[in-house]
Chain A
Amino acid sequence: MAFAISWTRLGGQSVPLAWRSLLANRRRLVRSSAGIGFAVLLMLVQLGFERGFFEASLATVSALRGDLFIMNASKYRFGSRDPFPPRDLAAARAVAGVAGVTPLYGAWQDFFWQPPGSDQPYLVQAFGFDPAQPPFLLPDVEGESARVAASDTVLVDRDARRFLGMEAAQGEAKINGRPVHIVGGFALGPDFLSDGTVMMSAATFAAMASGGRVPASELPVEFGVVTVRPGAKPAQVQQALMAALPQGLRVMTKPQLVEFERKFQSDLSSAGPIFWLGTLVGFVVGMLISYQIVYTDLSDQLPQYAMLKGMGYETGYLVRIVMTQAGLSAIAGWLPAWLVGLLVYWAIGRVALLPMQMTWQITLISLGLTLAMCLLSAALAIRRVVAADPAEIF
């Protein structure tokens, strides 16, 4: 029917044949968009999980504030206890270009949290630092860290897994059997090592870690967080620090530290391949669906295509129509799937506490994959048009 209209105006190239042909059968358009859309949604969900996994595991390290980080050279990942003596930091303070060095204490295997009103201990990630210089970029930590200056007070992760009872960020809880007072919260979220995070002053940390036996000034340090003087080049200060510090310590810039953790995660976690496999499956399913759509459409319209050929239109012109239509149906499937994807991301993010975000990268990758699967399947199905013989039709 659409063809009937377009034929009357077949004067020039301007007739949007592909568009007409796409809209000719609304019912079929809805069906095909739904088919392609579900394949796209499958890819979106898998891509979102892949990114969410990495983001969750990099959340803590990305939230660190500081220009340079001093740590043990034998440390193989951010979240592994491998501290060094606090006196080693003294040399760093004298290095030119260093504005300040503050110790960061960390624990991943040693702090057991008993939620308010419960005596079940759960392993949590814990940090201790000078409340006057909180080494985290989290706004709530910066705003509320002064409150943890009082001993046995803590800030907790409001986005921690629910069973830790940190959501309300208030009340009395216990760490390693010692009572603590919750004075505030921040938003970080769990990763695959820890279900939640607590932050406190270095003094409280030392008391919890050693049972009160070791003062904060003698407690081994996990990271020395260095602030560089305005105007000084971090890379140069990094070189100077490495020369000044005892052997066995190393210095990383923030991007290097994030990359260090990312590399560990991608080398040792099987999450990446699992979700890429899922994306690939979505792509293949999408291709099959889209091939079926294009193939059916071409079979239905074959007489018209043959007619156009008989009238003298070049094969190239027909190929362009088919490809354009495939591209249009790709977008018709992708757009609603992307919108539904936003909703699905939001829901999964809330339930699984995963940082699911529709980023530009995911948007572009999914659109690219959708176009690729539709165009590829159209290219496979197009042989029918190329072979269409006007003589056979009439």
Chain B
Amino acid sequence: MPHQVAWRILTDQKGRTLLAAGGIFVAVLLIFVELGFFVAVPEGGLLIYSHMRFDVLIVSDKYLFQSESGSFPQARLAAARAVPAIAAATPVYFGNAKWQDPSGGLKLDVTVIGIDPAAGVFDVPGIERQKAVLERPETVLVDSATRPLFGPLTAGRVVNIAGRRTTIGGTYQLGTGFLGLGVALASEADFFRLFPQRPQDTVNLGLVRLRPGAGPDAAARALRAALPADMRVFTRSQLFSHEVEYWTTRTATGLIFGSGLIVSFVVGIMVLYQTLATQITRQLPQFATLKAIGYSNRFLTAIVVSEALLLMIAAFVPALGAAFGVYAVVRSKTLLPLTLTATEFVVVFVLTMAMAAAASVLSLGALRRADPADVF
């Protein structure tokens, strides 16, 4: 019954209701966007990992995050392979080199990832398909998200990487994450050809795959027991929470988008409060009349809360639609992996409802002042 009254009030002046819904729409959309960024920044840091095949990751105890991973000797991989639950342990190498066109020009920073092409490190179709290309000497595959500054990434183009003539064998689609402006993939042999000073004994990541049926937590425990104290062992989920924590607490991004989130939340409350308070003021005689003929304060409160909820839902649905659009635009412009997950949907919906609740509470003050004696 109260929601019917609320519906009547809202549909009585459609223009005004539309306007209010518009304001809340923008606020909700902003929450979607800020939350998207808040989540996307660590996601960007996880991009490379989420396309790597491993159950457990072993790294140096100096590991900070993907780009500052520290290194460890090959022998640790052998020690890991000796653990019964382990099927394979594969090394991954990271190196920073300069990329320059043979004709001269800028010397750009490129991150080179060294892998064994046959080990199936990446579950990226473009890499899987071009395994044979990667095996060719002095040939690299280049991430297609490498910035235009690097020039055309056409197969067959020869560039100098770390001062050595290297052929682009092809491109693959993964994304550069936070590894820099450009990423190239090299076979192990080519990697050490590019970095001759670097000892082979400097593995950055050890990707561990388990035998069928082995549980990652038990395997991680067994690895921790088998490996010396200079190693760290992460299960996939431990690694992901470690990286997310790094990006949200150790960098400014968490705070920036977190504060944006809070401001949009407050703006949303203000818009809704503004609307509700105006409505109540305008309908004050009617509310007072209802009171005079015996309706309780609770009934009137229920009307206002229903109004708030109806407006919120009217704003939330189009904001959700618009968020999909904005995410797509941001994805294409900034290479940040903005995606609308179920979690985000639920979080924003809950925040929206909280906004409705807060605005209702604020505007109830005006309602309580509705005194039948004043009106007549």
Whole-angstrom distance between the Cβ of B361 and the nearest chain A Cβ: 15
Flag if A76 contacts B149 (CB, 8 Å). Answer: yes
In the assembled complex, which residues on chain B have CB atoms less than 8 Å from the CB atom of A49?
Answer: 256
Residue B242 interfacial (CB < 8 Å): no
Stretch at the interface among A87-95, A200-208, A345-353: A345-353
Contacts A278-B260, A288-B271, A289-B274 given; indicate if A120 touches B64 (C-beta within 8 A).
Answer: yes
Whole-angstrom distance between the Cβ of B276 and the nearest chain A Cβ: 11
Whole-angstrom distance between the Cβ of A273 and the nearest chain B Cβ: 6
For window 149-187 of A, CB contacts with B under 8 Å fall at: 161, 163
Whole-angstrom distance between the Cβ of A287 and the nearest chain B Cβ: 9
Whole-angstrom distance between the Cβ of B198 and the nearest chain A Cβ: 13
The secondary structure that dominates the A interface is helix
Flag if B19 contacts A46 (CB, 8 Å). Answer: no
Which residue of chain A lies nearest to B62 when distances are taken between CB atoms in the complex? Answer: A121
Flag if B181 contacts A39 (CB, 8 Å). Answer: no
Residue A86 interfacial (CB < 8 Å): no
Stretch at the interface among B101-109, B211-219, B304-312, B347-355: B101-109
Whole-angstrom distance between the Cβ of A166 and the nearest chain B Cβ: 15
Residue in A31, A80, A163 whose beta carbon sits within 8 Å of that of B250 in the complex: A163
Residue in B23, B250, B264, B333 whose beta carbon sits within 8 Å of that of A161 in the complex: B250
Whole-angstrom distance between the Cβ of B258 and the nearest chain A Cβ: 10
Stretch at the interface among B29-37, B48-56, B117-125: B29-37
Stretch at the interface among A15-23, A292-300, A365-373: A292-300
Flag if A285 contacts B100 (CB, 8 Å). Answer: no
Q: Mark B11-31, 1 if CB is under 8 A from A, else 0.
A: 000001001101100110110
Flag if A38 contacts B266 (CB, 8 Å). Answer: yes
Flag if B26 contacts A288 (CB, 8 Å). Answer: yes
Q: How many residues of B contact A (CB 8 A)?
A: 50
In the assembled complex, which residues on chain A have CB atoms less than 8 Å from the CB atom of B335?
Answer: 270
- The CA of A123 and the CA of B68, in the complex, are separated in Å by 7
Flag if A31 contacts B274 (CB, 8 Å). Answer: yes
Contacts A121-B70, A281-B26 given; indicate if A270 touches B336 (C-beta within 8 A).
Answer: yes
Which residue of chain B lies nearest to A278 when distances are taken between CB atoms in the complex? Answer: B260
Q: Mark B144-157, 1 if CB is under 8 A from A, else 0.
A: 00010100000000
Flag if B333 contacts A270 (CB, 8 Å). Answer: yes
- The CA of A74 and the CA of B106, in the complex, are separated in Å by 4
- The CA of A34 and the CA of B100, in the complex, are separated in Å by 55
Residue B133 interfacial (CB < 8 Å): no
Flag if A352 contacts B274 (CB, 8 Å). Answer: no
Beyond A122-B68, A292-B275, 9 extra complex contacts between A and B, CB < 8 Å: A38-B266, A74-B105, A109-B96, A120-B64, A273-B334, A282-B267, A288-B22, A289-B271, A289-B274
Q: CB within 8 Å of A: which residues of B?
A: 16, 19-20, 22-23, 26-27, 29-30, 33-34, 37, 62, 64, 68, 70, 96, 98, 100, 104-109, 147, 149, 181, 250, 252, 255-256, 259-260, 263-264, 266-267, 270-271, 273-275, 277-278, 330, 333-336
What are 20 inter-chain pairs, A to B, with CB distance below 8 A? A35-B270, A35-B271, A38-B267, A39-B267, A41-B263, A74-B105, A80-B107, A82-B98, A82-B107, A122-B68, A273-B334, A278-B33, A281-B33, A281-B264, A289-B23, A293-B274, A295-B19, A296-B278, A344-B259, A352-B256
Query: Which 6 residue pairs are nearest across A and B when measured between Cβ atoms?
Result: A270-B334, A288-B23, A74-B107, A76-B106, A352-B252, A352-B255
